[in-house]
Structure 1
Amino acid sequence: MSMPFDMDLFLEGVLIGSHATRQRHLSQAKMIQAAIAKRWQRESPWTWQRKHVAWFLEHYMRRRCEATRYYYVLTVRLLARRLGRSWVFTL
C-alpha cells in the first residue's frame, strides 16, 4: 500500500505570506492535484508535465472568473518553483 502524496509537505519550502495566503495556496494545489490525478492518474507533482498543468488552467478553469484564474496561476508558479521547472503561464 502506498502513502498518499502530502501536498502540505511538498510546498512547505516555498510557501510564504500570511496564514490565509498559505492555506489558499495549499487548497488550490490540492484541487489541481485532484483534477490532474483524475484525468491522467498522476498523483505526484514530480510526474506532471507542462501539458497537464496547462490543461488544468485552460480547460478546467475556463468557466471561472478572471480573478480566480489569476490566483490559480500564482499557485501554479509556486508549484513550478518547487519542482525547479521554468514553466510560464499567463491569463
Structure 2
Amino acid sequence: MSKPFDMELFLAGVLTGSNATRQRHLRQAKLIHAEIYDRWQLETPWAWQRKHVAWFLEHRLAGRCELTRYYYLLTVRLLASRLKKSWTFVSQAKT
C-alpha cells in the first residue's frame, strides 16, 4: 500500500497569506485532489492534465455561487504554479 499524497507538503512552497487563507487553499486543494482521484484514479497532481482541472471547475462547481468558484479558481492557480504549468482558466461570472 502506498502512502497517501501529502497536499500540504506539495503546496508548502507556494502557500502565502494568512493562516486562514492557507488553510482554505489546503482544504480546497484536497477536495480537488479527491474528486480527480475518484474520477480518473490519478494519485498525484503531477499526473493531472488541464482537462482534469477544467472538469472539476466546470462540473463539480456547477451551481455554486460566484464567490465559491472564484476561491477555487485561486486555489487552482496555486496548483498550476506549483506544477509549473501555464494553465489559464477564466472565471465564469453570471451576467
CA distance in structure 1 between the partners assigned to 2:35 and 2:2 by the alignment: 20
CA distance in structure 2 between the partners assigned to 1:40 and 1:63 by the alignment: 22
Alignment of 1:30-69 (within 5 A): 30-69=30-69
Question: How far does residue 71 in structure 1 lie from its aligned partner after superposition?
Answer: 0.2
**Unpaired stretches in structure 1, ≥5 consecutive residues:** none
Alignment of 1:2-81 (within 5 A): 2-81=2-81
Aligned residues: 91
Question: How far does residue 90 in structure 1 lie from its aligned partner after superposition?
Answer: 1.1
Code of the residue aligned with 1:57 in structure 2: it is L
**Match in the other structure for 1:87:** 87
Question: How far does residue 43 in structure 1 lie from its aligned partner after superposition?
Answer: 1.7
Structure 1 residue ranges, 4+ long, deviating more than 6 angstroms after superposition: none
**Unpaired stretches in structure 2, ≥5 consecutive residues:** none
CA distance in structure 1 between the partners assigned to 2:88 and 2:4 by the alignment: 28
CA distance in structure 2 between the partners assigned to 1:90 and 1:24 by the alignment: 20
TM-score, normalised via structure 1 length: 0.99
CA distance in structure 2 between the partners assigned to 1:52 and 1:43 by the alignment: 13
TM-score, normalised via structure 2 length: 0.94
Identity value in percent: 71
